[in-house]
Structure 1
Amino acid sequence: MSDFQHSSMTYFNRELALFEFHQRVLAQALDERLPLLERLNFLIIFSRNLDEFFEIRVAGLMKQLDLNALTRTPDAIPTELVLAQLSEEIHAAVEMQYRTLNQDILPQLQQAGIRFIQYSQIQDKHKPWIAQYFAKQVQPVLTPISLDPSHPFPRLVNKSLNFIVSLEGKDAFGREIEMAIVPAPRSLPRLIALPPEVAGEGEEQIFLTAIIQQHINDLFPGMKATGCYAFRVTRNADLILSEDVDDLAVALKDELSSRRFGRAVRLEIEDDCPQSIIDYLLDEFDLDQQQLYQTSGPINLSRLTTSFDRPELKYPIFSPVIPPVFRKQKPIFEVLKKQDVLLHHPFDSFQPVISLLKEAAKDPHVLAIKQTLYRSGPDSEIVQVLAEAARNGKEVTAVIELRARFDEESNIMVANVLQEAGAVVVYGIVGYKTHAKMILVVRREQDQLVRYVHLGTGNYHAGNARMYTDYGLMTTQPDICEDVHRMFQELTGMGKMAKLKNLLHAPFTLHTELLKLIEQEIEFAQAGKAAQIMIKVNALTEPQLIAALYRASQAGVQVDLIIRSICCLIPQVPGMSDNIRVRSIVGRFLEHTRVYYFEHGGEKKLFCASADWMGRNLFSRVETCFPILDSKIKKCIVEDGLRSYLNDNQNAWELQSDGHWQKVQPEPEQPLHSAQAYLLQKKLLKL
């Protein structure tokens, strides 16, 4: 089977594969080996993931059906069948999520002295405090909206918490109102800590929904509330920008306002709500039973985030390590003149990246700083340092990707901060997201201009650097620095495609060169030489690369794939993918490194990159892929970033040929090995 064919026999559906990843995250909440608050946190992460999945992926599928659009996907599964299967799997997962919360995690938290109070759990001792809090903090900002001919159903913001209330009696104007909507203002916290004199021993937090439901009658004097049910509607939140725009920032601001009121794609409501009210809401939002999710607990678990000072219920505290080479208080420029430095976050601190920019901002010999920014808030230290550098007279250029999903508003604010400081801000290329991670510092040294570069697999976001695994390379290698310089020229100028010596870059050379590297591996295998491919990315969906990997397997090349989330390749199929193994690591940190390894007949070619193996990364984004040339760094990445993950038997899952993932279990008498735990321990030993 050498030729790739569009079929569910050769390609897993992208959306179903993505939801499989979300289920692996949910499985972490079920893992009793994990600390209790960390298990709760994985339930919260699952909720957030599911929100975005509906806002983008399910919304896209529903839009295809609404438009009766025929879309050809490599798996060739009709859209309505994908939606039906997703609905079945998501409903089962949500049921498992709430069962785990109600029957496992919350009871154990209560035993540990942490209690979350829902409406049915309000006790007499709580009621005086609740009444006072409602009167002073909640009621003044609530706006009940009756549903009658002069008050049509209100436009409700995406993912906002609301109540639908059934009523009896007449209002002040003599009208018989049967139903009303009460939006819960987003300015109100969803969880409120009860004072110690009310809570007693331990810690108690009460849901805002419980407080409002307890006093819902206070909002309708002279009438009786016969029912009050919390609900939430999720809407299509994908942004579609025309390539023919005069000002990307202005167009984006206009589009962001529409995101709040996109087409409804999911209705969540409490499971005790009468069917008549459910049918009314479904009709109002133009949804059916497939998009209805009745919850046996608080709606929107992502708002459960709380800060408890209970270290025994969390992961052990870990402080990222400053690499030894940077501990001697030498200027970073002196260190990088002598050697390349690899940073492996979060095990290594992100501070050296910030220090590079800080030194550059103050160094009188630094002339220019150029950086790409994909996800970074206006208050981030990096943005503040770049602004300081601009005010200090450095030539600062920031290539800001305004369209980083759900960070668009933040990135517009970043652009404003930097422009006000005097930096040159470029929004990248319309039609191509700038996803590359690059810093370039130009410094005058003895009448010569010397370049210093940082290239990464992840975003310039200090918070992410503590939660995501990523690689960063700091180097002064002339050819790599020259390539980065040319890429910045390509991004800010109007010239032809940059010709690069060492870097591969999308949307130009990366896809072609990856196919070439795979074909070369096939040739080595056929010639009886060493041949192996190891790839670690977040997602693998691109059909031509999948077809090439199938050919490699058939030629006898051992292919090991470490894919965090979506994998559309089908492994372990006789005659097609016998030699392909696919793993996924889901642990304490979100796996985010992108590493490509080719044995290449013993030459061992190794690359790190900002790009996943997806069509959008390879054809619709500006991406970097940089070779690892230093032999020590290369060995470190291969051993710690690839082989260690392939040997993980604690947090690893293996993809089966039926599309489902199976948790890896250690063999009898096999040593237990967690790649992330190993790296944590290894870094601590170097302190």
Structure 2
Amino acid sequence: MSGKRNYNDPNYYTNRELSWLAFNDRVLEESRDKLNPLLERLKFLGITQNNLDEFFMVRVASLAKLAAVDYPKPDASGMTAEEQLRAVNKQAHEMLVKQYNTLNRSLLPAIVSENIFLKSIDDLTDAQFQFIKGYFHDELYPVLTPMADDSSRPFPFIANDTLNLAIQLVQADDPDTKLYATLQIPDVFPRVVRLPGEENSFILLEDIIKAFVGQLFVNYQVTESAVFRVIRDMDLDVAEEDTSDLLKEVQQQLKLREHGNVIRLEIENTISKKALKRLTKQLSIPDYAVYETSGPVDLTFLNKLASAVVNHPELKYPKFTAYQAKALDHNHNIFDAIRSHDWLMQHPYDKFDAVVEFIRQASVDPDTLAIKMTLYRVSGDSPIIRYLGRAAQNGKQVTVLVEVKARFDEQNNVHWAKQLEKMGCHVIYGLIGLKTHCKLSLVVRREQGDIRRYMHMGTGNYNDVTAHFYTDMGIFTANNDMGIDATNIFNMLSGYSKPPYFHQLHISPKGIREFIDDKLDQAIALAKQGKPVTIRMKMNSLSDQKMIAHLYRASHAGVKIHLIIRGICCLKVGIEGISDNITVHSIVGRFLEHSRIYIFDFNGQRTTYLASADLMTRNLNRRVELLFPINQSDLEEQANQIYDTMWNDNLKTRVLTPDDTYRRVDRRGLTALDAQAYFAEAASAKVARDQHLEAAAKPTEFQPMLSPENQPNPLNYDDGSDPD
């Protein structure tokens, strides 16, 4: 290649949506991997369905809206919205075939071999049939509401992500006239129903209803019924510049969102062509958005099925014990611990309890003056929310930024915003036009007449539930410069403040892009001087075109770039003179890799950072994000060892190849390494070590020997003592 290189050439980029589907295919591979425990494989298949649902609700819905107005601008890979929409649906259809082949040919036969049964009506014993008959009449029948569809009664509204029956029937005295109705499968009942007579025998709720649905239509005969569901456009469209009350606007948009356009129809492939044609017409959906399944619609039920199985621990991941340093638990003053030195945590291998404890102790600490915190996604019963409320009631100044635009958590976050206000907290909703995605908490204390700031900064949400299965990292620090920066960030979020600079923290929008661009420029300059330069990054997604072009320039200059990217990667590897110094790994395993790590090794000088941000345009341009350094040398070394362990993983890693596919590591001659299993085992070992040291530290109790006549007789209860 000669002359000036065009790093923005569309041939150098992979389409974002197709890259996401490739990620979901890697998840699907885990459901096919026999090295994984069987029930975990069921869960992986269920996860692929849940992933697809959210993908269609937001990303495909967005493409459909752009295609509908013939939006002409292509993406970085040169594809128009219409081309992307067609390509995505084509690939999603291929994935559907692979999903149901995995279910029918591999997973269902495998669970039967373990005496776990997902039964159809024809497989039931007489006792089980009588059970479901009674269940239908006693429980289901009073709740079911069939909806006729004829000239006097219009086709009913089908809610997003609900299971329904498409029913065809005839009147007893007029068998040639086809009639139609729909019936929503009620979601107030468990979809996976346990059957009597066998320990692990189940049937799906819709199969029970289908078996007896004719009893809802007296004097009519049901000739056909098929389960279906629709996925609608669920993207939230909040015009923040036009509203004075963001909370009310979000609530209004949540109501409107429920009636978004249908983006995808899934239906059992047993439906007749005539009934299907009628249904697609009523739903106004094109043929390419119809997905006919060769098994149960909506495979997310597999998660519930796997959880319902009893007495098979060997078919699940082995349990491990997460570690928590004693200095960070409820028996110790956490502020003393943080003041003594910084602390680095890697969840879920380190307990999230320490983060909750940080807020709990601040809420009751007499020296705490103020707590400031950002909340993007919290659990449905968040202890952090409770402690923030307690702090306000204890007279602390509590300021909480609740991001009410966090996708699919809007309703939950609106609820918590109201609750926090009721408890006396000052609640803010961020900046107009931006989502606040940074993970930051600040506790301000008065100590011996001086003000001291304590901070927690993380890569993941303050969510005590997802912290058990998302891998994230965070630090506790009392660093004064960072504390000043954190105060300025909260002033920026809550008021009219534009700090001219930050001491150590880097903030998006703009700040993180500028910082990484500057680092890449430094790397390029050093590499051109022949100095050794390596950049290592870990993130969820890489899609920003400008950032990828800059990585290409660095690679061309000779910078070695190692990337661990779980999901979307629009960068291509192996392009001669462009990306031949870039290697991309992806880890899909037991836990969802969510941490973001940025390491720059320039001629032997290394700096290490954690961040809330991926290298996506939305994170760099349209969100408030945080990137922060690990200053303490031992913690920096620990973070680098964590990265290196993940980089050397050869069981769960896939390597991106020049043909845009991901392939497993060639393990010939290598010792097997599953990084997540390694971290879990190390955490359990640390817990066991601490328990051993604690037991060894206990003083030995010496008891004087009694004379024979004073020795207790363990078999003589005549003294009135209780033997129990």
| TM bracket (short chain) | over 0.9
What's the CA shift for 1:498? 5.2
Alignment of 1:584-603 (within 5 A): 584-603=586-605
CA contact (8 A) 1:6 1:75 kept: no
CA contact (8 A) 2:565 2:586 kept: yes
Work out the CA distance in 2 between the residues paired with 1:52 and 1:118. Answer: 29
Equivalent residue number for residue 516 of structure 2: 514
Question: CA 1:249/1:119 → structure 2, altered by over 3 Å: closer, same or farther?
Answer: farther
Alignment of 1:262-281 (within 5 A): 262-281=260-279
- Select 2:347's aligned residue among 345, 350, 354: 345
TM-score, length-scaled by structure 1: 0.96
Question: CA 1:283/1:104 → structure 2, altered by over 3 Å: closer, same or farther?
Answer: same
What's the CA shift for 1:79? 2.5
- Select 1:251's aligned residue among 249, 252, 255: 249
Equivalent residue number for residue 677 of structure 2: 677
Equivalent residue number for residue 233 of structure 2: 236
TM-score, length-scaled by structure 2: 0.92
Residue 204 of structure 2 corresponds to residue 207 of structure 1: yes
Residue 415 of structure 2 corresponds to residue 413 of structure 1: yes
Alignment of 1:28-39 (within 5 A): 28-39=30-41
Work out the CA distance in 2 between the residues paired with 1:119 and 1:621. Answer: 51
Question: CA 1:215/1:326 → structure 2, altered by over 3 Å: closer, same or farther?
Answer: same
Work out the CA distance in 2 between the residues paired with 1:115 and 1:498. Answer: 64
What's the CA shift for 1:494? 1.2
- Select 2:259's aligned residue among 237, 249, 261: 261
What's the CA shift for 1:536? 0.3
- Select 2:319's aligned residue among 317, 320, 323: 317
Equivalent residue number for residue 191 of structure 2: 190
Amino acid at match of 1:525: A
Work out the CA distance in 1 between the residues paired with 2:146 and 2:330. Answer: 63
CA contact (8 A) 1:546 1:569 kept: yes
Work out the CA distance in 1 between the residues paired with 2:235 and 2:71. Answer: 17
CA root-mean-square deviation:
1.7
What's the CA shift for 1:665? 2.6
Question: CA 1:170/1:54 → structure 2, altered by over 3 Å: closer, same or farther?
Answer: same
Amino acid at match of 1:678: Y
My pick for the range that moved more, 610-619 or 319-328, is 319-328
My pick for the range that moved more, 312-321 or 299-308, is 299-308
What do residues 533-580 of structure 1 show as CA deviations (whole Å, max 9, x unaligned)?
A: 001010011111111111111111100010010001111111111100
What do residues 428-452 of structure 1 show as CA deviations (whole Å, max 9, x unaligned)?
A: 1121000000010001100011100
- Select 2:338's aligned residue among 332, 336, 339: 336
My pick for the range that moved more, 251-260 or 40-49, is 251-260
- Select 2:480's aligned residue among 462, 478, 481: 478
Question: CA 1:216/1:171 → structure 2, altered by over 3 Å: closer, same or farther?
Answer: farther
Residue 644 of structure 2 corresponds to residue 647 of structure 1: no
Secondary structure, counterpart of 2:566 in structure 1: strand
What's the CA shift for 1:7? 3.6
What do residues 196-243 of structure 1 show as CA deviations (whole Å, max 9, x unaligned)?
A: xxxx23311211111111001101011100111111111111111112
CA contact (8 A) 2:368 2:396 kept: yes
What's the CA shift for 1:171? 9.6
Work out the CA distance in 1 between the residues paired with 2:6 and 2:268. Answer: 47
Question: CA 1:320/1:206 → structure 2, altered by over 3 Å: closer, same or farther?
Answer: same
Amino acid at match of 1:223: Y
Alignment of 1:215-614 (within 5 A): 215-243=212-240, 244-306=242-304, 307=307, 308-309=309-310, 310-323=312-325, 325-326=327-328, 329-497=331-499, 499-614=501-616
What's the CA shift for 1:325? 4.3
Equivalent residue number for residue 699 of structure 2: none
Question: CA 1:584/1:171 → structure 2, altered by over 3 Å: closer, same or farther?
Answer: farther
CA contact (8 A) 1:525 1:557 kept: yes
My pick for the range that moved more, 398-407 or 57-66, is 57-66
What do residues 245-274 of structure 1 show as CA deviations (whole Å, max 9, x unaligned)?
A: 111110011111122221111111111110
Work out the CA distance in 1 between the residues paired with 2:7 and 2:529. Answer: 27
What's the CA shift for 1:491? 0.3
Question: CA 1:69/1:327 → structure 2, altered by over 3 Å: closer, same or farther?
Answer: closer
Alignment of 1:118-157 (within 5 A): 118-157=120-159
Work out the CA distance in 2 between the residues paired with 1:236 and 1:355. Answer: 39
Work out the CA distance in 2 between the residues paired with 1:446 and 1:246. Answer: 43
Amino acid at match of 2:469: M
Secondary structure, counterpart of 1:393 in structure 2: coil
CA contact (8 A) 2:327 2:334 kept: no
What's the CA shift for 1:311? 1.2
CA contact (8 A) 2:321 2:683 kept: no
Work out the CA distance in 2 between the residues paired with 1:351 and 1:109. Answer: 36
Secondary structure, counterpart of 1:278 in structure 2: helix
What is the number of equivalent residue pairs in this alignment?
680
Secondary structure, counterpart of 2:599 in structure 1: strand
Alignment of 1:5-44 (within 5 A): 5-44=7-46
Amino acid at match of 2:207: A
Work out the CA distance in 2 between the residues paired with 1:27 and 1:402. Answer: 35
CA contact (8 A) 1:170 1:176 kept: no
CA contact (8 A) 1:119 1:209 kept: no
Work out the CA distance in 2 between the residues paired with 1:478 and 1:185. Answer: 55
What's the CA shift for 1:3? 4.5
What's the CA shift for 1:604? 0.6
Work out the CA distance in 2 between the residues paired with 1:634 and 1:4. Answer: 37
Amino acid at match of 2:685: L
Work out the CA distance in 1 between the residues paired with 2:244 and 2:460. Answer: 30
Work out the CA distance in 1 between the residues paired with 2:213 and 2:381. Answer: 39
Secondary structure, counterpart of 1:565 in structure 2: coil
Secondary structure, counterpart of 1:379 in structure 2: coil
Work out the CA distance in 1 between the residues paired with 2:173 and 2:514. Answer: 70
Work out the CA distance in 2 between the residues paired with 1:622 and 1:590. Answer: 23
What's the CA shift for 1:644? 1.4
Secondary structure, counterpart of 1:633 in structure 2: helix
CA contact (8 A) 1:6 1:76 kept: no
My pick for the range that moved more, 465-474 or 489-498, is 489-498
What do residues 150-188 of structure 1 show as CA deviations (whole Å, max 9, x unaligned)?
A: 11101110111111111111699x996611111112222
Work out the CA distance in 2 between the residues paired with 1:191 and 1:132. Answer: 16
- Select 2:63's aligned residue among 61, 64, 71: 61
CA contact (8 A) 2:327 2:333 kept: no
What do residues 613-635 of structure 1 show as CA deviations (whole Å, max 9, x unaligned)?
A: 00000010000000111111111
Secondary structure, counterpart of 1:320 in structure 2: coil
Work out the CA distance in 1 between the residues paired with 2:111 and 2:556. Answer: 52
Secondary structure, counterpart of 2:356 in structure 1: helix
Work out the CA distance in 2 between the residues paired with 1:323 and 1:653. Answer: 33
CA contact (8 A) 1:373 1:460 kept: yes
Work out the CA distance in 2 between the residues paired with 1:327 and 1:58. Answer: 45
Secondary structure, counterpart of 2:270 in structure 1: coil
Secondary structure, counterpart of 1:49 in structure 2: helix
Secondary structure, counterpart of 2:374 in structure 1: strand
My pick for the range that moved more, 344-353 or 328-337, is 328-337
Runs of at least 5 residues in structure 1 that lack an aligned partner in the other structure:
none
Secondary structure, counterpart of 1:550 in structure 2: helix
Work out the CA distance in 2 between the residues paired with 1:574 and 1:191. Answer: 53
Amino acid at match of 2:41: R
Secondary structure, counterpart of 2:568 in structure 1: strand
Secondary structure, counterpart of 2:471 in structure 1: strand
